[in-house]
Structure 1
Amino acid sequence: MGALLRCSFGAAPAKLTVLPVNRCSVEGQPAATIMDHKPMANIAPFGVCRSMANPTVSAATSAAMGVLTPMPCIPATASPWTPGAAKTHIAGQPALHGQCTCLCNWGGVIKIDQPGTRKTMIA
């Protein structure tokens, strides 16, 4: 919870939100798993999106005679984070760690820029 995320096509960082459904916490915050990839619920928007694979960016760019026109980001993360922790599981799912990535349907690669914990190492 509280980790700062960065998308390769986004303009600003976003925070990871972890709902306290697993009842497991690390350093006083709800612990994340690879399944914490839901748009808006877990992954907040990254400001504006610059991916031409995003239909809104593509349409706005076409309307601007081919000049790239970023549009508001709405994350489209249908698949879980990968690879997840090999040894640490929370509620039956691999725990999220600082090397995990999540793919946006519009081609963006979402990475953990700053972890939400400072003292705990996940294996």
Structure 2
Amino acid sequence: MSKHITDTTQLKCNKGTSPTPLTVTSQSFMSIDGKPQATEEDKQPDINIKPFGMCRVLRSSCTPSPIKWDNTSDFEIEGKKELLDNSTCQCSIGGKISVVKSAQDFVKE
């Protein structure tokens, strides 16, 4: 079953060399374990998605250029679709951004 993702969830780009945490800024209404839940609007470079180390396409710093999140939830928060741990985002440079591990996985039961 897909999990919702929240602030600090680790993202990766298949053309980058290192993961980076997602920073949620699109909404502050819904949270899971005290962390804001991510939506399709959390895609701004250097704000929501930090660089992924070196880019294998550009052979320089891997600053993301996200286009649109796919595989989002059917549910919305304030009119924005929720992101899931299987959501992906195409980068206009040629990479694909995906979830490494949901922040929910780090919570101890």
TM-score by length of 1: 0.75
Greater radius of gyration (CA): 1
Pick from 17, 37, 41: which aligns with 1:35? 41
Q: By how many angstroms is 1:23 displaced?
A: 2.1
Runs (5+) with no aligned partner, structure 2? 1-6
* Aligned length in residues: 100
2:92 alignment partner in structure 1: 105
Structure-2 separation of matches of 1:4 and 1:113: 5
Structure 1 or 2: more strand by fraction: 2
1:66 alignment partner in structure 2: none
**Post-superposition, which runs of at least 4 consecutive aligned residues in structure 1 deviate over 6 A?**
none
1:45 alignment partner in structure 2: 51
Pick from 99, 103, 106: which aligns with 1:116? 103
Aligned identity (percent) is: 33
Q: By how many angstroms is 1:41 displaced?
A: 0.8
2:69 is matched by which residue type in structure 1?
W
Contact residue 4 and residue 13 of structure 1 kept, 8 A: yes
Q: Counterparts of 1:69-80 in structure 2 under 5 Å?
A: 70-77=59-66, 79-80=67-68
Runs (5+) with no aligned partner, structure 1? 52-56, 58-69
- Residue 22 in 1 paired to residue 6 in 2? no
2:54 is matched by which residue type in structure 1?
V
Residue 118 of structure 1 aligns to a residue whose secondary structure is helix
